[in-house]
Structure 1
Amino acid sequence: MKAWLLKDFGMENLQLEEIPTPEPKTGELLIKVGAVSLNYRDKVIVEGLYEPNMIPKPLIPVSDAAGKVVKTGPGVSRFKIGDRVSSTLYSRWIDGAPGPNEPDYCFGAPLPGGLAEYMIIHEESAVLAPDTLSDEETATLPIAALTAWFSLMDVGHLQRGQTVLVQGTGGVSLFAVQIASALGARVIATSGRDENLAKIRALGAAEGINYRKHPDWAKEALALTGGNGVDLLLDVAGGNGLNQSVAATKPAGLIAQIGFLSGQTASLDIMPLLFRQTTIRGIAVGHRTSFERMNIFLNQHQIKPVIDKVYPFSEARQAYQHLARGPFGKVVITIADA
């Protein structure tokens, strides 16, 4: 099969090669990959900025894949040949609290990912694709959609009429806007571009804040909530901006700490955290059971992923470069016709 292999860190070391097609073992599915989508995680893995000591080389990168089951190993009972499925990032996290070693079993590093014509997924790790979505659309779900859903529903227990703030216009935030709006929540979005704020309002956001025009964007969020702050805030930036997230969240509110786009460390002001009695909860995507509940919701509400561009398999590097420029929505690579 054809596969992109990361031979060493750096985009120049991502090479398209021919390697043996894997054979499914007991409980495993062989998937003919239809499409994959890129996440920030995939970018920093290639760059060597994401836990480099746990990245095997060569590596087939990219965690989020969707395709069709073409062969099954002994003992498979959850799926049959012809079923359309997607991967999950944490291949062994089925339900409940995560185990201490979930990162050791992630697709796309350290386990082989989906940037290849075929991929092995254990049947317990696979999720049935929604009927309403194509492979390209389904491939956007495993990290971006599930992170938004898990933050809003499993952790945030978001209710109709509550207010949620989402940062930026990446994949997680766009899914969060659509899901929260479908639930009847009020959404405030931030972005550094007015044109993106207009687009995100069209997806259901009630208000937008341009953080370049308003560097103290927490004050704007407080003004929009009558001085109370938001019930739930999805923080994808990290870094010292976490202090503004605390300020923008209501007393005893919740911050879902999702990303680290602005830095992996933060100098946190403790007194505002104490006075506001804020809960900061780290979010690392979600488990398979939540994924399955989410797919039912997406079907019921006819929610479609926002895809910025779809690249052919041969242009995987260009897709990574597009991701680095900051797309509005997901960057997808189609593989079925490689």
Structure 2
Amino acid sequence: MKTVTLRSPGGLDQLSISDRATPGEPAAGEIRVALHGSSLNYHDLGIVTGNMPSDDGRIPLADGAGVVESVGAGVTEFAVGDMVVSCFFPDWQDGTPTIGDFSRTPGDGIDGFAREQVVLPATAFTHAPKGYDAVEAAAITTAGLTAWRALIVDGKLKAGDTVLLLGTGGVSIWALQIAKLMGATVAITSSSDEKLARAEAMGADFTLNYREDPEWGQKVLDWAGRGVDHVVEVGGPGTLAQSIKAVRVGGHISLIGVLTGASGEVPTAALMSKQARLQGLIVGSRREQQDFVRALETSGIKPVVDRRFPLDQLADAFRMQQGGEHFGKIGIEW
């Protein structure tokens, strides 16, 4: 089977394709999946560029979706022919968070899904949403579930709430779709007027170019009146101060990303005066993914996939991601 591996110390020129033996029949509790799609996340980019070191020869990509080819003894949840999608934390099945690292995350601590077939425990997958192809299904594993947990699981989003989204990457565009589905009012930022126009066409109620308005937190505060109820904060230390300014007293900030750095100053006095809940999160559990899948099937929404690349052009796909050209997700399809 075709397989992509990453040689240490990382770098896009260290990605290589080879043929490996097809995995055998699944053991008890396992399934064999013919993989057909993935999508890129900034976590994946950190791995392949060497900024988040992984083992030599690691198979990258945290997201994977495909069709069940065979099932091991005792597996009743899946049948041959089912479309399934992977879980970011295959060992976190349900309940409150118990995992704070990536030692068992595909594409990081264990091999990921940049390959044609895989045998894994059935509990490492959920059913894909009905009507989704493999790339669309793979887009829910990391970005989609992160947005769902931020707004629905942790944020308890309700109709009439106001939401601030930063940028137009995978998490933010998923969050836009989820927020509008729930009847929320949405503000979104970007450095691209073209991308802001696309977000507005998807239902964004207030758009703001943060390069033209560096004090965008105040602009969002003024727009919302008392401030927004929820912020999906994907930037990190470089944007957190503005997000705190934009949130209402008693509001909720989901700290998800570190696009502007892994550490930095936190305006603690401002956060305290806002009495806001600042909550870090990393994706979600298998049970939360199953809930998300049901919501997607009920709503009929699908992820925004900007462009699809074949598996043997994975490095080119990452180059597009590095350039920030994409709107929504970048898909890998084979």
RMSD: 1.2
Q: Which residue of 1 aligns with 2:38?
A: 36
> CA–CA distance in 2 between the matches of 1:102 and 1:82?
33
Please state if 1:308 is matched with 2:306: yes
Q: How does 1:96-115 map to 2 (within 5 A)?
A: 96-100=95-99, 103-115=102-114
Secondary structure in structure 2 of the residue aligned to 1:64: coil
How does the TM-score come out when normalised to structure 1? 0.95
Displacement of 1:121 in angstroms is 3.0
Displacement of 1:72 in angstroms is 2.1
CA contact (8 A) 2:92 2:99 kept: no
How does the TM-score come out when normalised to structure 2? 0.96
> CA–CA distance in 2 between the matches of 1:111 and 1:71?
22
> CA–CA distance in 2 between the matches of 1:165 and 1:132?
30
Please state if 1:267 is matched with 2:268: no
> CA–CA distance in 2 between the matches of 1:101 and 1:56?
19
Q: Which residue of 2 aligns with 1:248?
A: 246
Q: Which residue of 1 aligns with 2:177?
A: 178
Report the residue type matching 1:250 in the other structure: R
> CA–CA distance in 2 between the matches of 1:175 and 1:329?
8
Q: Which residue of 2 aligns with 1:56?
A: 55
**Equivalent of residue 318 in structure 1, options 313, 316, 319:** 316
Displacement of 1:248 in angstroms is 0.8
Displacement of 1:131 in angstroms is 1.0
Deviates more, 1:229-238 or 1:89-98: 89-98
Report the residue type matching 1:122 in the other structure: P
List alignment gaps of at least 5 residues for structure 1. Answer: none
> CA–CA distance in 2 between the matches of 1:36 and 1:140?
7
Secondary structure in structure 2 of the residue aligned to 1:71: strand
Secondary structure in structure 2 of the residue aligned to 1:86: strand
Displacement of 1:101 in angstroms is 5.6
The 1:44/1:305 distance shift into structure 2, 3 A limit, reads: same
**Equivalent of residue 26 in structure 1, options 25, 28, 31:** 28
> CA–CA distance in 1 between the matches of 2:156 and 2:237?
25
Q: Which residue of 2 aligns with 1:6?
A: 6
Q: How does 1:283-302 map to 2 (within 5 A)?
A: 283-302=281-300
Report the residue type matching 1:92 in the other structure: D
Residue by residue over 1:12-62, the C-alpha shift from the partner in whole angstroms, topping out at 9 and shown as x without a partner, is: 111000112223333111110011111111111011112x2xx22211100
Displacement of 1:244 in angstroms is 1.1
Displacement of 1:217 in angstroms is 0.4
CA contact (8 A) 1:90 1:102 kept: no
Secondary structure in structure 1 of the residue aligned to 2:187: strand
Report the residue type matching 1:181 in the other structure: K
Secondary structure in structure 2 of the residue aligned to 1:256: strand
Report the residue type matching 1:271 in the other structure: A
Residue by residue over 1:134-186, the C-alpha shift from the partner in whole angstroms, topping out at 9 and shown as x without a partner, is: 11211111011110011000000001001010000001000100110010000
CA contact (8 A) 1:61 1:112 kept: yes
Q: Which residue of 2 aligns with 1:130?
A: 129
CA contact (8 A) 1:242 1:266 kept: no
Q: Which residue of 2 aligns with 1:208?
A: 207
- Matched-pair identity in %: 36
Displacement of 1:74 in angstroms is 2.9
Report the residue type matching 1:308 in the other structure: D
List alignment gaps of at least 5 residues for structure 2. Answer: none
> CA–CA distance in 1 between the matches of 2:135 and 2:267?
42
Report the residue type matching 1:267 in the other structure: E
Secondary structure in structure 1 of the residue aligned to 2:16: strand
